[in-house]
Amino acid sequence: MAVEYLRLSLTDRCNFNCIYCTPLEKKGYLEHDELLRHEEIARAAAAFVKAGVKKIRLTGGEPLLKKNIVGLAGMLKAIPGLKELALTTNGVLLPELARPLRAAGVDGVNISLNSLKKSTFKKITGSDSFDKVWAGLQAALKAGFKKVKLNVIIMRGINDGEIEDFARLSLKYPLSVRFIEFFPVNKRSTRLKDALFPTAELKARIEAAFGKLRPAGGKKIGGPVRRYKLKGAKGGIGFISGRSDYFCGSCTRVRMDCIGRVYPCLFSPPTHALRDLIRDGATDAQLARYIKKAFIVKSHYRKDSPTAGHIEMSSIGG
Ligand code: SAM
Ligand code: SF4
């Protein structure tokens, strides 16, 4: 399948410390000089678009911590041929940034929120800022984005009492509530592997409380989500089942981290690196040719291909 979706990690920095994400071993952050600067990100992104990408999602770390994120979003939105610009955030800076980001051209926002209870929220994120994230969600709903989605990871024994509460949000708000199966990827998240809550069980819980989920169609670029709707709902419910569903054959996404390394798959090592090429003066055509080579590697990549062994969501961006 042609690559059409780029997940772009802007920074390895984060203001949360989620139990399934940040590494156990405290590592320092990358030096500023190592990170791609705005113009470098925009050049790389334009080359991806030239090579066929239609949708870019900004992620991190926490992408809203990137200096002048609104200016950067505007630069990316101006790339000819880009159809959709979205971002995934923990939401804590959205109360002030939702409107400016929308005005800069961001089409959609995904907010990661795993509990509606302050104490559980703190246990999962290490942060006291539930109220800010909730205000961020409300600000996003008011800012006029084309799509606002909630990314929820249900973990047995931690937040599995809230499945129905999250599903209920899709009745009240024009929100797509997406339940994402948790991946044990680094030492810290591997400790939680027994907390995995499979999609089949989640669906059964939701249907027991609200009745049958109705499949919902609609066009999308590059996502592995299976979409449904509850009767009379303003929003939708989605399931992303990376553990129990095999979707490699329909995957159209690649990833670039904040220092310009390109990953054909979340589980692969980086196979290409753009930063030095850009800094050594490569032309746009050279960059696009190089990216197409990465896309060819991706087209041969499968779940059972060699993996990186150990991945850090907080630098690759999920
Ligand atoms: N900081 C932003 C946020 O939390 O939305 C963006 C970066 S975060 C790495 C991107 C997405 O990856 C989030 O929705 C997060 O829940 C998800 N994620 C992180 N670690 C994960 C894991 N072990 N399994 C599944 N999803 C994970
Ligand atoms: Fe930060 Fe997002 Fe990872 Fe949580 S999931 S630690 S908010 S990067």
Residue 18 CA to ligand 2 center (angstroms) comes to: 6
- List, for residues 153-183, the tens digit of each pLDDT value: 999 999 999 999 999 999 999 999 999 998 8
Tell me which residue has its CA closest to atom 11 in ligand 1.
318
For residue 172, what are the domain limits?
5-316
Residue 318 CA to ligand 1 center (angstroms) comes to: 5
The pLDDT score that the predictor gives to residue 24 is 76
What mean pLDDT is reported for the chain? 91
The fraction of the chain above a pLDDT of 70, given in percent, is 92
Residue 131, amino acid? D
Query: Strands, DSSP E only, in the chain?
Result: 5-9, 55-59, 84-89, 108-112, 147-152, 176-180, 214-215, 226-229, 236-240, 253-256, 261-263, 272-273
Sign for the pseudo-dihedral over CA of 226, 231, 236, 242: negative
Buried b (16+ CB within 10 A) or exposed e, 12-22: bbbebebbbbb
More confident of the two residues 314 and 210: 210
Q: Which of 32-36, 43-47, 312-316 has the lowest mean pLDDT?
A: 312-316
Residue 7 CA to ligand 1 center (angstroms) comes to: 12
**What is the domain-level CATH number for residue 105?**
3.20.20.70
Is residue 9's pLDDT more than 80? yes
Is 210 in contact with 200 (CB distance < 8 Å)?
A: no
Q: Which of 212, 216, 143 is CA-nearest to residue 177?
A: 216
Mean pLDDT on 6-32:
89
The structure's pTM equals 0.94
Tell me which residue has its CA closest to atom 25 in ligand 1.
182
The structural domain count of the chain equals 1
